[in-house]
């Protein structure tokens, strides 16, 4: 299957700092990428849809000023958690699809964020 | 609100048995359905997709869809200990957008 790479896989930061997570499609171009968040023993919750060259679309309840998304190229989307707090500690996962198909998404390895 | 429901489990089966995982969804207009496998601490991996009523087989995996009952299932034949994971049911709600269930934890004992 297609390869989506995420970096870093783990990050620990102090409360109040900002953290950037990168998501790259390695062998295909993705005009759209998706950012999910998963708390322990819970399902994946879609945070936002990242659109290349335009603003991201955020799901209801997700603060766009706190979770900044940039999709500057067809192979790279970034998620920046600004002024992180302990409650932002979670597993953040990006995904992308390879075609116009309805949803066969490939996921990055995930980034585990711990805010102290 | 579109919902996807799964029994959290754990579902315990002996090695070699058939594991049956079930999922129901609320949006009658849904057209695409997916099963993902997620190992602890890892990201999900696509196992099967199904779009039409009936069965779809891929190796040891069979996905079953019944749109009238808003029900989708995954059968795993000849279960192996390496199949032990959480299985996420996902329903397409738009172009490449998915709603996930909370997952069913499967334990296959040797």
The tens digit of pLDDT for each residue in A38-92 reads 998 888 999 999 888 888 999 999 999 999 999 888 899 999 999 999 999 999 9
HEC per residue, chain B: CCCEECCCCCEEEECCCCEEEEEEECCCCCCCEEEEEECCCCCCEEEEEECCCEEEEECCEEEEEECCCCEEEEEECCCCHHHCEEEEEEEEEECCEEEECCCEEEEEEC
| C-alpha–C-alpha distance, residues B56 and B63, integer Å | 5
Res. A3 pLDDT band, cuts 50 70 90? confident
Beta strands in chain A (DSSP E): 4-7, 10-13, 19-25, 32-38, 45-51, 57-58, 67-73, 76-81, 90-97, 105-107, 111-115
A96 → chain B, closest CA residue: B96
Contact A114/A11 with Cβ under 8 angstroms? yes
Pairwise CB contact (< 8 Å): A102 & B32:
yes
Contact B109/B14 with Cβ under 8 angstroms? yes
A35 → chain B, closest CA residue: B97
Pairwise CB contact (< 8 Å): B95 & A104:
no
Q: What is the largest CA-CA distance in chain B?
A: 41
Which of B36, B34, B21 has the alpha carbon at shortest distance from B73?
A: B21
Whether the predicted pLDDT of A101 surpasses 60: no
Q: How distant is the Cα of A76 from the closest Cα of chain B, in angstroms?
A: 17
Which among A43, A49, A110 has the least Cβ separation from residue B103? Answer: A43
Contacts of A6 in chain B (CB under 8 A): 43
Is some CB atom of chain B closer than 8 A to the CB atom of A32? yes
Place of tokens 């200990």: B81
Q: Return the sign of the alpha-carbon dihedral for residues B39, B45, B50, B56.
A: negative
Is some CB atom of chain B closer than 8 A to the CB atom of A60? no
The tens digit of pLDDT for each residue in B37-96 reads 999 989 999 899 999 999 999 999 999 999 999 999 999 999 999 999 999 999 988 777
Contacts of B96 in chain A (CB under 8 A): 32, 34, 97, 101-103, 105
Pairwise CB contact (< 8 Å): A97 & B96:
yes
Q: Looking at residue A87, what DSSP letter applies? A: G
Strands A57-58, A45-51: pairing kind: antiparallel
Strands A32-38, A45-51: pairing kind: antiparallel
| C-alpha–C-alpha distance, residues B49 and B64, integer Å | 10
């Amino acid at each position: 299957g297609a390869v989506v790479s995420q970096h870093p896989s783990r990050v620990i930061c102090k409360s109040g700092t900002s953290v950037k997570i990168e998501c790259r499609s390695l062998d295909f171009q993705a005009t759209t990428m998706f950012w999910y968040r998963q708390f322990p023993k819970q399902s994946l919750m879609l945070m936002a849809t990242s659109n290349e060259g335009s603003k991201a679309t955020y799901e209801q309840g997700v603060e766009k000023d706190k979770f900044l998304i940039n999709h500057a190229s067809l192979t790279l989307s970034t998620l920046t958690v600004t002024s992180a707090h302990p409650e932002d500690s979670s597993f953040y996962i990006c995904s992308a699809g390879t075609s116009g198909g309805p949803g066969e998404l490939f996921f990055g390895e995930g980034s585990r964020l711990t805010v102290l | 609100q579109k919902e996807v429901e799964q029994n959290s489990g754990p579902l315990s089966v002996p090695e070699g048995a058939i594991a049956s995982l079930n999922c129901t969804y609320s949006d009658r207009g849904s057209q695409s359905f997916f099963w993902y496998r997620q190992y602890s601490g890892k990201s999900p991996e696509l196992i099967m997709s199904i779009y039409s009523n009936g069965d779809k087989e891929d190796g040891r995996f069979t996905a079953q869809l019944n749109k009238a009952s808003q029900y989708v299932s995954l059968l795993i034949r000849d279960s192996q200990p390496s199949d032990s994971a959480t299985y996420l049911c996902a329903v397409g709600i738009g172009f490449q957008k998915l709603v996930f269930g909370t997952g069913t934890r499967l334990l296959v004992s040797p």
